[in-house]
Structure 1
């Protein structure tokens, strides 16, 4: 098989991913499995609700004059929208004013028209609570824990420095003082800075404050560097608080301090940086430091996943093997003859699967691994979608026939790798599959993903969320409603997938590792019985995800009673939608109570929306204009000065022709609007900026592939 010039490089990278997955899913020894051993397994319990259906909806079509639609006179559609409705059985119409899902459903309830409960609205509801729960845990628990941990580690670093002055360990100890001094200042601007690192700390803080971009780190390169070409560079544009982290001063501080702790890489290729990493490991063993570190790591592991980098567990084990069990600073310093053995043992630890730092594209494979392989104090997390991105950008894929390099991925890469033929066809039409090795790499990722076990998919909330989305990309068989059995609907479901995935990336932007390419009143009584989008497998997995969220946080005493009750109600609602969807597919009549649930759906969404935003002071629906559903997040970085932004905008209307009691009617619901566009690296977008762009009409165009189902 011909792999081209980068074939060997791809195979090495791909084997590393497979090794990581095997370690994660089977529990074999290795970097990631050691991390798993320190996590309470009861934190991650998952029970999937079964789905048993035999779809039996008779096929139907829409007459050209809508003559077989019982309520066609309720709606005024443009000629273009009407044509798509006739052709596909549904159409999505842009809405310039609707900012939240619940308000769209409430508005249509009181017209009244039949409501179409969409998977988009249910998934968005979970996003609201996921973001709320993470925000509350960070505000009430993790921020204070990180502040105390930073202070305690700074204290230990200063003690080590005092003991190591005049030795070959002095500079490494001084670097650690600076590292934790920066972390402390980011959490608390009034924190004092030890005089021996004042200059470097002030330079770092200035670079962070100015979001300087990719430049050499003054602190990491303190004391000189034997290899000036190998000086450590950091991307300071990453320190713009975004996602939910721009809402309060505390969350802004936590974001920047945690980003610092997660990104700074003590590279194993540099002996002095490796000494710093070893000293940090020893300092973590002192006092309550390990307990505080575990509290932060285990909690964020439940939300997002395990670190992709070497951290405490691997270094502690390597120290014990080299210097003896429970070896301390005195033992290490007085055993210089064992240092080379330690370096050799550390060199055998697994490298990260995702490169999250700037690396010159001309660097050889061996040098690349040395550049990215290192210790991180609170390393950012491995996610499967970032791994997919990593295998599908330069230099894992080569140039296309025009000599262009694929410096940024596409969101569509993710559902394509999950197995969506429609997603891959869209990528082909965009020319994205023309890059050398792209088809081969995509095939390998699809093969791997197809073999991932349920246990691996449900190891944490992040992976579990992706698992809940997977039924969206499965082709709907005979027996499903006709509007769901065409390529336009397959694209609408990709739009749903990418809208929800964008919310996931937005909510976890601090923790998930980012890929770097190299280089009112009721009206007259009418029959307004509605319809639930029949995606029972999505509802089943989402209900299981809600249950896992509740049980996992409750097990760690991180869930208050009100949020517990809200998650219980959410689970009941989703299971009710699952039951309705199963009935619709099997032609079982709905009860009056089930039709009433559909009618009242907007009110239920409103309740969850208010509950999810109450920690931000929201107490009434009138705040919807100030807290719109629209959001933005950058998911990949190119060394040519751009990032890939993924965003959702206004809630669009969907009109679907659905069967009720053997007759066809139009039902109305809400769906995501989805955007993807490159943006300057030094100007990473926040939600606030994005909202202003939407208000002023400066948002980019919707993706070309959505034209098959969206019409003005």
Structure 2
């Protein structure tokens, strides 16, 4: 039994590492919206004849826009050997030049001495607030990776939300109407044949999609019962029920609008419709469902306008979030052409059972998805081959988590099953020994097969693979965070050399990962297990410091540039956003330059110190720009638009989901050395949470903020009684005033 499961894990990993997902049907490889050659490591997978064809794009799409985005390969690992001379905070903090600017209790001071940094609450509602307070109080700022990644999250969500609101929503409405009309015409042609039920199913399917987008959509009488059942289930969004479309279980709690979609009627409609098209699964093994998939594909490809709409929606969302993990119209169209020829009429289907038998045999040989998002019962296949009209997207983290939950791993000694993953699974698979040790301490390795599967993942993902990590903005975001997982040794500033700083890096990874999942909750496939100051006496030296992670900043420059370049080629970038992305790229580039100087013990210029001092103004600019289409008034209040957010990333079909969240930003105080002086500099960092929660009550941002007492509830009161605790592993470097 174990050898079979590890074989499956190895196959999934092999596909993960060599796959290239295409965004147009002319390029059906399974991962990548960029035009880059595979690395030697990628090609050397140990599988004969598995070399992928080169992507010779861009491939023309409807409207003349390129479907593949050509991006430059980032220059990696250009940082020289760090050479910071050793220093540390004195036991009594007597060598801290600017200690007089701070008040610290005994416990907080003890942690600062022990780790040369300490994290506390009180960072405001948004990341820029600490930096603006520092400028007012003439205190040194510590520019964090956390603050930069949070700013990318703000602008990523702004760009995607604006594109969905102004372009994709209307295109999806038009596509739904055309596919409904096309499916209704097929039903009329096939009525009375063995294809009638499949055609009727498609009419119901597209009626649901169209109705979710437009209440005025008329429901055909012959499909009314099916449509009304689905709409009722979607609107209740209470949990798992049997779909009348597929006859299989569907998790209707997924249709609760979450992330930034909550509260905007148009975006909520778009969310439900895209969730419908991304989740409803036409299982290949079921002949009648396979007939529906054939008819759906035929209806799309014989209507050039419909296909142009589908392709335009799919391509830009793949650029943001990655390509589909499921079989879809591209794969099925190839089989249709092979069996039925380049041109055939729907009328030719009736009575031609031999051709369909051949079609059904060929679709059975197509690849299964790597990630399961369906409620499957114990003993059933982990992933079920089938068709989705606009399938949710393959992500590296979901593929990792899939291998580390039941039934890819089995029970522990107590007979318990690992039904939900842990966020730490992802950095552990990416090579973090600390994350793996924390998981071990929490009992993860006690599940049979967990460590075996984890080792397979770690071995495979240790190979550098440019195609994998540049496949989408989603993948590029994750790649930007990876250097945080690397231990920092001799030559780095003393605060970076401890295990506690490595834990803080894990919290930054987890907090930014939570924001990534929040922004792509609609698209990324979710894994499912089986069933000015007052100082007069002294003149402060407020020259600050940048967290020296030059490789992070280098990758960020490429990520921001890829964002602008791709959207510009798609014709979806206005002048203001292009200017802001250029500004974000410039900020990251300056942070890279400054951090490289710090590691060489070279003093930044006066202009660079001034950039650090005014960094909060840059952050506030992007916060305001990300909200410019969300607030009709002139005044923006951070209390109304805080950083805190929540999203669910995995489902236990027995009734729970895994929620990940961020709270108000925390403040980090770091012992740094600037121009020979040891001093304290402060900045903003993530506050990360993860916890299991009832499936029937998937949390929205507003519910989360009210739960945590960050915003008033519907009665105008703040809640202070039922707050969620942070993960235990974050406490060793954190100080809370409540602990005194």
Q: Which category of TM-score, normalised to the shorter sequence, fits these structures? A: over 0.9
Q: Confirm whether residue 529 of structure 1 aligns to residue 543 of structure 2.
A: yes
Inter-partner Cα distance in structure 2 for 1:41 and 1:48: 21
* Structure 1 stretch displaced more, 693-702 or 375-384: 693-702
Aligned residues of 1:6 and 1:396 also touching (Cα < 8 A):
no
Aligned residues of 2:135 and 2:532 also touching (Cα < 8 A):
no
Instruction: State the partner residue of 1:217.
Output: 243
Deviation at 1:448, TM superposition (A): 1.3
Aligned residues of 1:105 and 1:115 also touching (Cα < 8 A):
yes
Relative distance call for 1:42 and 1:160 in structure 2 (3 A) is closer
Aligned residues of 2:195 and 2:291 also touching (Cα < 8 A):
yes
Inter-partner Cα distance in structure 2 for 1:537 and 1:672: 20
Secondary structure of the structure 2 residue equivalent to 1:625: coil
Deviation at 1:11, TM superposition (A): 1.7
What do residues 489-530 of structure 1 show as CA deviations (whole Å, max 9, x unaligned)? 000000000000000000000000000001267865421111
Relative distance call for 1:191 and 1:118 in structure 2 (3 A) is same
Alignment of 1:284-295 (within 5 A): 284-285=300-301, 286-295=303-312
Which among 71, 79, 86 is matched to residue 59 of structure 1? 86
Deviation at 1:19, TM superposition (A): 2.4
Instruction: State the partner residue of 1:11.
Output: 7
Inter-partner Cα distance in structure 1 for 2:545 and 2:239: 50
Inter-partner Cα distance in structure 2 for 1:341 and 1:629: 54
Secondary structure of the structure 2 residue equivalent to 1:110: helix
What do residues 197-238 of structure 1 show as CA deviations (whole Å, max 9, x unaligned)? 1111111111111113111112323xxxxxxxxxx1100000
Deviation at 1:30, TM superposition (A): 6.8
Query: What do you get for the CA RMSD once the two structures are aligned?
Result: 1.9
Instruction: State the partner residue of 1:489.
Output: 501
Aligned residues of 1:172 and 1:272 also touching (Cα < 8 A):
yes
Instruction: State the partner residue of 2:293.
Output: 277
Deviation at 1:452, TM superposition (A): 4.4
* Structure 1 stretch displaced more, 187-196 or 598-607: 187-196
What do residues 54-87 of structure 1 show as CA deviations (whole Å, max 9, x unaligned)? 2110111211110111111211122221111101
Deviation at 1:192, TM superposition (A): 1.2
Instruction: State the partner residue of 1:705.
Output: 729
Aligned residues of 1:398 and 1:435 also touching (Cα < 8 A):
yes
Relative distance call for 1:446 and 1:608 in structure 2 (3 A) is same
TM-score, length basis structure 2: 0.91
Secondary structure of the structure 1 residue equivalent to 2:218: coil
Which among 259, 265, 280 is matched to residue 249 of structure 1? 265
Instruction: State the partner residue of 2:188.
Output: 162
Deviation at 1:41, TM superposition (A): 5.9
Instruction: State the partner residue of 2:521.
Output: 509
* Structure 1 stretch displaced more, 187-196 or 270-279: 187-196
Aligned residues of 2:328 and 2:391 also touching (Cα < 8 A):
yes
* Structure 1 stretch displaced more, 7-16 or 690-699: 7-16
Which among 124, 133, 141 is matched to residue 150 of structure 2? 124
Instruction: State the partner residue of 1:94.
Output: 121
Instruction: State the partner residue of 2:585.
Output: 571
Secondary structure of the structure 1 residue equivalent to 2:392: coil
Instruction: State the partner residue of 1:226.
Output: none
Instruction: State the partner residue of 2:172.
Output: 146
Deviation at 1:257, TM superposition (A): 0.3
Aligned residues of 1:100 and 1:629 also touching (Cα < 8 A):
yes
Instruction: State the partner residue of 2:52.
Output: none
Deviation at 1:622, TM superposition (A): 4.2
Which among 682, 693, 707 is matched to residue 693 of structure 1? 707
Inter-partner Cα distance in structure 2 for 1:202 and 1:523: 69
Q: Confirm whether residue 311 of structure 1 aligns to residue 323 of structure 2.
A: no
Unaligned runs of 5+ in 1: 222-231
Instruction: State the partner residue of 1:650.
Output: 664
Inter-partner Cα distance in structure 1 for 2:305 and 2:4: 46
Q: Confirm whether residue 360 of structure 1 aligns to residue 377 of structure 2.
A: yes
Aligned residues of 1:31 and 1:349 also touching (Cα < 8 A):
no
Instruction: State the partner residue of 1:267.
Output: 283
Answer 1 or 2: which has greater helix percent: 1
Secondary structure of the structure 2 residue equivalent to 1:659: strand
Aligned residues of 2:508 and 2:685 also touching (Cα < 8 A):
yes
Which among 170, 174, 178 is matched to residue 204 of structure 2? 178
Instruction: State the partner residue of 1:32.
Output: 30
What do residues 147-206 of structure 1 show as CA deviations (whole Å, max 9, x unaligned)? 000000000000000000000000000000000000011111221111111111111111
Aligned residues of 1:282 and 1:328 also touching (Cα < 8 A):
no
Inter-partner Cα distance in structure 1 for 2:371 and 2:183: 29
Q: Confirm whether residue 458 of structure 1 aligns to residue 482 of structure 2.
A: no
Secondary structure of the structure 2 residue equivalent to 1:636: strand
Deviation at 1:328, TM superposition (A): 3.6
Inter-partner Cα distance in structure 2 for 1:245 and 1:555: 26
Which among 64, 83, 98 is matched to residue 110 of structure 2? 83
Inter-partner Cα distance in structure 1 for 2:459 and 2:349: 45
Question: Aligned pairs, how many?
Answer: 692
Aligned residues of 2:138 and 2:533 also touching (Cα < 8 A):
no
Deviation at 1:21, TM superposition (A): 3.3
* Structure 1 stretch displaced more, 612-621 or 100-109: 612-621
Which among 192, 209, 218 is matched to residue 192 of structure 1? 218
Secondary structure of the structure 2 residue equivalent to 1:234: strand
Instruction: State the partner residue of 1:205.
Output: 231
Aligned residues of 1:142 and 1:296 also touching (Cα < 8 A):
yes
Deviation at 1:556, TM superposition (A): 0.6
What do residues 80-139 of structure 1 show as CA deviations (whole Å, max 9, x unaligned)? 2111110111000122x6110011211121012100000000000000000000000100
